[in-house]
Amino acid sequence: MSEKPVQIQTKLDWSGYESYGSFGSFDFGGFGESEAAAPATGGGYAKAAAVCMGKRHCQQKDKGVMCPSFRVTDDEKHSTHHRAVTLKAALEGEFGEHPFLSEELAEAMELCVSCKGCKSECPHGVDMALLRVEALAQRWQQLGYVPLRERLFANTPRFARHLKLINWVGTLRKRVPLIAKAMESWLGIAARRSLPRAAAQDFISSQPRSVAVTEGAREVVLLVDTFSNHLDPQIAQAALDVLQAAGYTVHIAQPVAGERALCCGRTFLSNGLIAEARAEATRLLDALTPFAERGLPVIGLEPSCLLMLRDEYHALGLGERVTKLANAAVLLEEFLAREHDAKRLTLPLKPLTGKVLVHGHCHQKTFGAMPAMGKVLGLVPGLQVEFIESSCCGMSGSFGMEVEHYDVAMRMGELSLLPAVRAAAADTLLIANGTSCRHQIRDGAAREATHLAQVLQRALQ
C-alpha cells in the first residue's frame, strides 16, 4: 500500500480554502494522534477537509440538523468528524493509489445525506456535503464510469418533460409487487418506495415568454425548479398567484426558445456529475444574470435548488456572475418576510382557522430561512402554527430511493418527523417546502403535505 500523498486534480473550485493553514492537533479517531494541517496534496480540497477540528459536535443529539446518520446509528463512523478524518487519510495515501475506490472512504461517505447541517452547526463550518460531491466525482473518474442508477437520478431534469408518459409504470409497479422487486434488483430502487408522479401539464410551457410590466409595480423573477415545474406545477401557480395578488409584476425565468426548462443542476451535483451541473448552472446564469444586474429579486420555491445559487454555485468556477445572482436569490418566504419588514408588502389575506404543522427542509434550516417561514405564516389571521423540531426527513433526494439506504432513511424520518405527522389531527395542515420531504411524509405517514405558497394562495381574499 502506498504511503505517498495522492495527486488529484479537483473538479470543484476549492480556492476559497487555499489560505487555510495548520489548525493544531486533535484525535483522529481510529487513525491516532495527528496534526490538523491539511495533507500535502489536494490543495484547497484537502484544507477544506482539515477544517474539522475534532470538536465532535456532529456526535451530539441536541436540537438541530447535524448529523442525521450519526443520530440513527450511534456509530462514530457515520459522523462528519469521521468522514473528514477518513478523507484526509485517503489524500495522505493511506488507502493506496486509488483512494476514492477504497472501502474505507466509501463506508465513511455512504450515509452522508448532504443536509448541510455541519456547515452551519459545526463550530468550524465543515462543508461535508460539498466534500462528498468531490469525493464522488473522483470515485467515478477512478472507476471509469458512472453507475446506471446514479446517471438515472442525475439526469432527471433532462427527461422530466417525458415523465408524464410513464406514470403508468409507477401505477403498475404499485399493483404488481414483482415489478417493484424487479426494478429493485435491476436499478437498486427500493421496492417499498413509491415513485414520483408527473403532472399532466408542466407549468413553464403554459406561461408567456414575455410579461407586460404594470406601471409602478415592483418587478420580481420567479424561478420554477424542475420539481415544481413537472411534478407539482400547482405550487408554482400558487406562488405566481400570491406574488401577483401582492401587486408584483412577475417574470417567469425562461430558457432560450426551443430548449428544455431551466434547471439549477442540483441532481447532477448530488450524484457527482460536476461537469453536467456546471453546464446547467451556466444556462441558468445566462437566463437570470440580466435580471440580477437590474437588481430584481430571483424567487425560488424548492430550498435545495434555490439555495444552491447562494452556496454551491461559488464552487463551480463560473466567475463573477455567481455573486450577483447569489445576492439576488431568495426563497419565497424570505422575500415576503423582507418585503413585510420593509413595509412594502400588501397582501390581502383572509382568516384560516385551524392548526398548521411545519417541517423545515434541512437547507432552509442551514441557511436561516425558518424564521421567515414563521413570520409569513403569522400574516394569515387565525392560523395556529407549530414547527416540528426535526433533523433530516431521511429522503434527501435520491438517498431514500436507494434500496441499501431505505431502512436508514425511514429511521431518520422516525426520529421525530413521521411520529409528529401521524399524531397530527386529520384537519391539520402539513407544510413541507421540500419535494423530498413531502415524498417522505407521503410514504412514511400516508399524509399529504403542502407548500407554503399553497397555504397563502388558500388565504387570498
Q: Which band of pLDDT confidence, cut at 50, 70 and 90, is reported for residue 20?
A: low
Q: Which band of pLDDT confidence, cut at 50, 70 and 90, is reported for residue 32?
A: very low
Grid cell 425558518 is found at: 370
Q: Which band of pLDDT confidence, cut at 50, 70 and 90, is reported for residue 40?
A: low
| pLDDT surpasses 50 at 28 | no
As a whole number of angstroms, the distance between CA 235 and CA 306 comes to: 15
pLDDT at 37: 62
Tens of pLDDT, residue by residue over 262-308, are 999 999 999 999 999 999 999 999 999 999 999 999 999 999 999 99
pLDDT at 314: 97
Cis peptide before 393 (omega within 30 of 0): no
Q: Which band of pLDDT confidence, cut at 50, 70 and 90, is reported for residue 113?
A: very high
pLDDT at 27: 38
As a whole number of angstroms, the distance between CA 360 and CA 241 comes to: 23
| Domains of the chain, start order | 15-143 (no CATH), 148-187 (no CATH), 204-338 (3.40.50), 347-459 (3.40.50)
What is the mean predicted confidence (pLDDT) over 56-76?
91
| pLDDT surpasses 80 at 26 | no
pLDDT at 24: 38
Beta-ladder partners of 250: 220
As a whole number of angstroms, the distance between CA 307 and CA 443 comes to: 26
pLDDT at 313: 98
| pLDDT surpasses 70 at 417 | yes
Percent of the chain with pLDDT over 90: 85
pLDDT at 22: 45
Q: Which band of pLDDT confidence, cut at 50, 70 and 90, is reported for residue 210?
A: confident
**Where would I find the beta strands (DSSP E) of 125-172?**
none
pLDDT at 180: 96
Percent of the chain with pLDDT over 70: 95
Q: Which band of pLDDT confidence, cut at 50, 70 and 90, is reported for residue 25?
A: very low
1 or 320, higher pLDDT: 320
| pLDDT surpasses 50 at 168 | yes
Q: Which band of pLDDT confidence, cut at 50, 70 and 90, is reported for residue 21?
A: low
Grid cell 382568516 is found at: 351
As a whole number of angstroms, the distance between CA 274 and CA 266 comes to: 10
Question: Which grid coordinates are listed for 40?
Answer: 500535502
Kindly give the pairing relationship between strand 354-359 and strand 429-432.
parallel
As a whole number of angstroms, the distance between CA 422 and CA 446 comes to: 8
Q: What mean pLDDT is reported for the chain?
A: 92
What is the mean predicted confidence (pLDDT) over 377-391?
96
Tens of pLDDT, residue by residue over 115-163, are 999 999 999 999 999 999 999 999 999 999 999 999 999 999 999 999 9
Question: Which grid coordinates are listed for 258?
Answer: 426551443
As a whole number of angstroms, the distance between CA 397 and CA 152 comes to: 13
Tens of pLDDT, residue by residue over 335-380, are 999 999 999 999 999 999 999 999 999 999 999 999 999 999 999 9
What is the mean predicted confidence (pLDDT) over 76-100?
94
pLDDT at 400: 97
| pLDDT surpasses 50 at 388 | yes
What is the mean predicted confidence (pLDDT) over 204-226?
92
Tens of pLDDT, residue by residue over 247-260, are 999 999 998 877 89
pLDDT at 1: 45
Beta-carbon-side half-sphere exposure of residue 47 (alpha carbons within 13 Å): 13
